[in-house]
């Protein structure tokens, strides 16, 4: 049950965070101004890593952990779907978003920024799908506990 709780917490935290990034943070990059952008981007990148990295790692570890520790509320294919979504999110992060942040670290680059905002929808939708999935598992867990405790 601890892995299920870790999945629910990390997935919902990342889902909320990615929607903020998608709708507020990334669009605001174009409003900073070229003189201040490098310092702004450095600050953004260093600070958000302290939030995102532990959540993404915890989510990935607990997702894979469900393969060996069944929680009784997730079908095997659902666990694999969750892992597949994590893999998609990580691939998008490291192949697309990190590459664009690398370009932006040198200064505001409008094509890189536009690609960052557009390609980030992969992660936004991936985490949103994971949030639905873990919420289904939570509902099942709550139904099971209601049956046990009557």
Sorted by sequence, the CB contacts under 8 Å of residue 74 that are 6+ apart come out as 4, 66, 82, 137, 140
pTM (predicted TM-score): 0.93
Residue with tokens 């979504």: 85
pLDDT digits (tens, 9 = 90+) for 63-112: 999 999 878 999 999 999 999 999 999 999 999 999 999 999 999 999 99
Q: Answer yes or no: is 47 within a domain.
A: no
| Residue 70 phi, psi (nearest 5) | -60, 140
Quick check: 89 and 127 in contact, CB under 8 A? yes
State how far the alpha carbon of 117 is from the alpha carbons of 80, 103, 110, 145, in Å: 28, 14, 11, 41
User: Rounded distance, CA 9 to CA 17, Å?
Assistant: 12
Range in 9-23, 63-77, 110-124 the model is least confident about: 63-77
| Residue 34 phi, psi (nearest 5) | -65, -30
Q: Which domain holds residue 109?
A: 2-10+53-149
Q: Answer yes or no: is 42 within a domain.
A: no
Q: Answer yes or no: is 101 within a domain.
A: yes
For residue 146, pLDDT beyond 80: no
The number of folded domains in the chain is 1
Q: Answer yes or no: is 24 within a domain.
A: no
For residue 150, pLDDT beyond 60: no
């Amino acid at each position: 049950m601890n892995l299920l709780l870790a999945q629910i917490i990390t997935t919902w935290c990342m889902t909320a965070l990615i929607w903020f990034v998608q709708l507020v943070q990334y669009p605001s990059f174009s409003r900073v101004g070229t003189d201040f952008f490098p310092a702004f981007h450095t600050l953004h990148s260093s600070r958000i890593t302290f939030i995102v990295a532990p959540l993404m790692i915890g989510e990935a570890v607990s997702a894979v952990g469900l393969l060996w520790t069944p929680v009784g509320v997730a079908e095997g294919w659902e666990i694999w779907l969750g892992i597949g979504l994590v893999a998609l999110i990580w691939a998008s992060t490291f192949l697309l978003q990190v590459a664009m942040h690398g370009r932006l670290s040198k200064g505001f680059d409008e094509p890189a920024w536009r690609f960052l905002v557009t390609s980030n929808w992969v992660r936004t939708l991936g985490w949103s799908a994971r949030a639905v999935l873990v919420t289904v598992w939570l509902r099942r867990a709550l139904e099971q506990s209601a049956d046990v405790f009557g």
